[in-house]
Structure 1
Amino acid sequence: MSAPLYQLKAEFFKTLGHPSRIRVLELLSEREHSVAEMLPEVGIEPAHLSQQLAVLRRANLVTSRKEGSTVYYSLTHPGIADLLTVARSILTGVLSGQAELLEDLRASVRKGG
């Protein structure tokens, strides 16, 4: 018997639950990148980047191709880029609401309330 969809979704989001993996996916949302191009953008050691790319490959979120000695990575599905865009939109709304609440609290303190 296969796992329920909600369990598969949980595993999917667990795979996304690492800042380096999110940064890699953001970069690949723009275009394919080589490991050398991603290293300065992700800001982790080469071995750690390779580990994170392996996790993303096993989850079938990225694919790779070799050209000479250079390995290029790309997203397996354009929906991944869409998901990151939606997440950014949600976070923008949440943070905006928190900023408004913080300003209201500051105004209340200034008024002595």
Structure 2
Amino acid sequence: MSQHSLVAKELAEMFKQLGHPDRVRLIEELRGGEKAVGELAEALSLPATRVSQHLAQLKAHRLVEERREGRQHFYHLTDASLADWVANAVHFIEGRVPIDPQLLHAALAAWLGV
């Protein structure tokens, strides 16, 4: 398999992992740095078990890393530029999908930290 084919396969797998809205939101939350599972669950208004399952998926595909401290599990992005990449995807989608401009602006502001 050529290197280009391997890269394309890896990119397709990354898109698959980002294909769930909760995982995209987790990437958004982790843009600001490391957070505990409980913090992420509260920020996303999701059960901690669901957040943990999504984080396990992201970790298995090397998009996040885990650090344990006692009973707490903390996660951070393996590459902070992933959050920037997601923000750029919002710009791409903006012109292609009819979305409420106020909601889109709020999401973009959150991703860019504006």
Q: 1:45 aligns with which of 44, 47, 50?
A: 47
Which sections of structure 1, spanning at least 5 residues, go unmatched? Answer: 100-113
| Aligned counterpart, 2:34 | 32
User: Higher helix fraction: Structure 1 or Structure 2?
Assistant: 1
Task: Letter of the 1:9 partner, please give it.
Answer: L
TM-score with structure 2 setting the length: 0.74
Q: Secondary structure at the match of 2:73?
A: strand
Q: CA deviation at 1:13?
A: 0.5
CA distance in 2, matches of 1:71, 1:47: 12
Could you list the runs of 4 or more consecutive aligned residues of structure 1 that deviate by over 4 angstroms after TM superposition?
none
The answer to whether structure 1 residue 71 and structure 2 residue 73 are counterparts is yes
Task: Letter of the 2:63 partner, please give it.
Answer: L
TM-score with structure 1 setting the length: 0.75
* Identity rate, percent: 35
Count of residue pairs the alignment pairs up: 97
Instruction: Give deviations 1:12-40, integer Å, cap 9, x for gaps.
Output: 10011001111111000112111110112
1:1-113 mapped onto 2 (5 Å cutoff):
4-95=6-97, 98=98
Larger radius of gyration: 1
Note the aligned Cα RMSD (angstroms).
1.9
